[in-house]
A and B are shown apart, each in its own frame.
Chain A
Amino acid sequence: MSTILQAHNVEKYYGNKNNLTKALNGISFNVDSGEYVGVMGASGSGKTTLLNCVSTIDTVTSGKILIGGVDITAMGEKALSKFRRESLGFIFQDFNLLDTLTAFENIALALTIMKTPPQKILSAVNEVANVLEITDVLSKYPYQMSGGQRQRVASARAIVTNPSLILADEPTGALDSKSARLLLESFQRLIAERKATILMVTHDAFSASYCTRIMFIRDGRLFHQLVRGRDTRKQFFDKIMEVVSLLGGDGSDVA
């Protein structure tokens, strides 16, 4: 398996000399093609900063991030835009669909901004819609869909361009448990059927239990890693919960 994402000693500082916040403090890791990696950590641990840096929305202070062998920290604004639309797919907590566009158009938008030939767009959109089971809502507007449907449309938008890496920021955060399960299962299908690679930030152990590997972050460093291996999801979930409590996640920071 080839390595999709390599992070070398990435640092991200905020503030000035006197009052420095080290959001990322020399973090290094690799993500291989076809992996479903979860990033967990408490609020303020740096997981969102990490995602922003990897997604090129934010810049790093030092260190290198290579995606598909390309160093994104050395790119200019224009190249970054191009890289973002061609090599990355985004799934946000609040879906971030354009309310004025239908589901079909929202998905197609990811292709039109890449100047994909129009005749290819129709088949590409239908193909991902099939995988994500949203064919029947394609002509609807976001406000006419359920939260789960919206997030699957957003996922379809992220995957339709065949990006090297899909970045998901708390994708189940705004969903009820049933929709969340449906979404997470469709992520697994995306990996199986379309050879997608997903990096997902979450603080929810249940969502994380669908991943193949979990990276735990604390104070801007890689604190621990869990690989699912041959574990059942239940076993993996229990392991995650142990680390979460050790890490001092949500509500367990009492001691």
Chain B
Amino acid sequence: MTSLNIAVQNVKKSFKDYTIYFLTLTFGVCIFYIFNSIESQQAVMDLTSRQSMALSTLSQMLGIVSIFISCILAFLIIYANGFLIKRRKKEFGVYMTLGMRKGRISRILMYETVLVGILSLIMGLMLGVFLSQGMAMVTAKLINADIKSFSFVFSAQAAKNAVIYFGLTFILVLIFNIITIRRQRLIDLIYADRKNERFKAPHLKLSIVVFLIALALILLAYFIVTHSGVFPTGPVLSAAVCMGVAGTFLFFFSLSGFFLKLLQQNKNVYLSKLNMFVLRQINSKINTTYISIGFVCLMLFVAICTLSSGIGLAEAIKNEMISNAPYSATFSMYAVRDINEEAGGASGNAGGAAQAVSGEAAPSYYQGLNIVNALASNGVDLTDFSDEYLEVRYYDAGTRFRFNTGDIPFDLNTQYVKLSDYNKLREMQALPPIELAADEFTVNCRMGNEWPEHTLEYITENPTLSLNGILLRSNVSMFASIPLITSENWDFAATIVVNDALLDGVPVSKDVLNLNYTLDNDTYNSMCESALKEFDFSAFLPNFNDIKFTGNMETRFDIIGRSNEATTMIAYLAVYLGMIFLIASATVLAITQLSETSDNVRRYGLLRKLGVDDKMINSALFSQILIYFGAPLALALVHSFVGIIVAGNIVGVVGDMSILGSSLFTAGVLALIYGGYFLSTYWGSKNILYKEYMNQQG
């Protein structure tokens, strides 16, 4: 028989042993291909230049992440391979006793590795190519692009990358295998199956102490990250992370011992069926497995957090961005002084406790400007594409809201708008108008999550302000926080609304044109863009030496597009990383379990001899593996729960994160991948036990 024949025979024979290895490789290649083929998927999509640029950026980012991912996969493959070699030491021993040279054994092993490698590469690529067709649809939907016509896309680049990255990994595996074989002594190989890990009596009392310490560390870490403000920073966060990590490892180090001791007190549970056997089984290996289980738990934590909050974050950003686009388009003028110093910064009015202070009003650069007239005089008729538009002027009377909440008093820049303008703006958003008495003012503030609240509090506590010598009362019930312009950024200020007459003679500080298109579609958007974007306003503005005017136009179209692209990017990165981490953790667990099963053959065989029936044995094996898979998942879920709350706090600055949908998605992915690995581990172990038992029976 040639070495190749032997290798083929071996792969066929031990196909079940190879299952996890094969599964991991195939999944790895498949996911790798899908995310690397995004660039080529553009072929079936009708893309604007911005969309295709966004996709290129995305695929570049995914390409960089792929290097990191392939390192993780390489580690996994080498780890899985190590397990296979360990399981087959005896077989190699037999080859050597029969006079086979180490070189030839290495060659057999090489053929096997290459064979399985090529098989899984082909399988993974096929699966990847197949699934990436669906992926193109998802991508198109996410970024709102149209599918031109469906055609089958194959990304040669992605396939090439997969072959290169995984090829390199296989070469590493080969080198690793050759070294392993070369260093083996025959005697060790032949007696490989008798060299069981020496069992040591557990220190159960120590376990209880360690368990309590672990719990304390974890709870303390939770407390720190949830109570140290919105952005836990630097040393505080590092300390919490260290405590969490240490706590996690100690938790798994002591968990089984703790439960063993606990259940030993309850004889009804402990002395029932195979309960004590299962507990002892888990406890017996914990000295060597707690590190890998700890890592698995942390990897799961990362996977769950990225999957659920990544998508949640993307959604939150998208919703926030879209909610900031109430009008089809907003055109605004900015006056920028060459020396980058805007008027009205923090005026050092000491002693002015929370009250409206008077700052220096911005110079009125816009006084003479009328955008609509300027456009009209050059033949641009807004009604061509817009059925609703409003030019809004903002007035600066030097009013500032001073907040003394932080260490340094903070002055919030405030501008005025006329009540009639404000109500028209509301009408354009289909909101009912508000009413104000002649001596009343109210405020509209839309700036993050906290500022509207602070501002409302402020005008409640400081119910009066003086405008041009007239004392105004605040009308708190009319307070609102609606967006007044379409902009990707927040309208960074509070806007005071007063009756029109009060603003006579107040300098104009900003001039903004809001438009709603006749029909909200691409045609009107391009009409509007070409009319406004290239319009030169300098002729219509007073001349200032040190001031430059910049026109700025933002459209809802752009914002929705950008938000879709941002969402897609974040979601893809999250799913890519999350999936890989999930596969990595499941693989490590599966392999730890399978390599233990070989050691457990003797124990389960003995149970059979003592008359334990298959049902009880299978259920003991099931519980054993379930605990191994369940324990790290359970802790990872608790970790993630806290992690997502913290992430939610951070994201809350951007927008509200709803994680129900993404949690369901995460649960689905978890059930599929993690559950799949769990079941194949159980079946694999059952199979090994059964096969070995039959072998012993002759």
Contact = CB atoms under 8 A, between A and B. Distances in A.
Nearest to A105: B276
Contacts of B198: 143
Interface in A38-73: 57-58
B274 interface: yes
Interface stretch (B172-180, B405-413, B545-553, B606-614): B606-614
A113 B610 CA distance: 9
A100 B273 contact: no
Interface size class, chain B: 20 to 34
B271 A121 contact: yes
A82 B614 CA distance: 11
Most chain B beta-carbon contacts within 10 A, residue among A112, A115, A122: A112
Interface residues of A, number: 33
29 contacts: A77-B613, A78-B613, A78-B614, A82-B611, A84-B609, A85-B611, A90-B610, A96-B609, A98-B280, A98-B606, A99-B284, A99-B603, A100-B277, A100-B280, A100-B603, A101-B276, A105-B280, A108-B271, A108-B276, A109-B276, A111-B271, A112-B271, A112-B273, A113-B607, A113-B610, A115-B273, A118-B267, A118-B268, A118-B271
Nearest to B275: A112
A100 B611 contact: no
Contact of A113 (B267, B268, B284, B612): B612
B239 interface: no
A161 B467 CA distance: 98
Contacts of B275: 112
B276 A122 contact: no
A158 to B, nearest CB: 9
B267 A119 contact: yes
Given A100-B281, A143-B199, A81 B276 contact: no
A109 B268 contact: no
Nearest to A88: B611
Contacts of B270: 118
Contacts of A121: 267, 271
B199 A81 contact: no
Contact of B612 (A57, A81, A88, A157): A81
B616 A113 contact: yes
Most chain B beta-carbon contacts within 10 A, residue among A57, A78, A85, A119: A85
A81 B281 contact: no
B273 A144 contact: no
Interface of B: 198-199, 201, 267-268, 270-277, 280-281, 283-284, 603, 606-614, 616, 697
B603 A98 contact: yes
Contacts of A77: 613-614
Nearest to A120: B271
Contacts of B607: 113
Contacts of A100: 199, 277, 280-281, 283-284, 603
A118 B272 contact: yes
A105 B280 CA distance: 10
Given A58-B697, A100-B283, A118-B271, A109 B277 contact: yes
B692 to A, nearest CB: 15
Nearest to B613: A81
Interface string A114-128: 010011011000000
Nearest to B282: A100
Given A100-B280, A144-B201, 5 more contacts: A98-B277, A110-B610, A112-B271, A112-B276, A113-B274
A57 B272 contact: no
A78 B615 CA distance: 9
Contacts of A86: 611
A83 interface: yes
The 7 closest A-B pairs by CB, nearest first: A85-B611, A84-B611, A81-B613, A118-B271, A100-B284, A100-B280, A118-B267
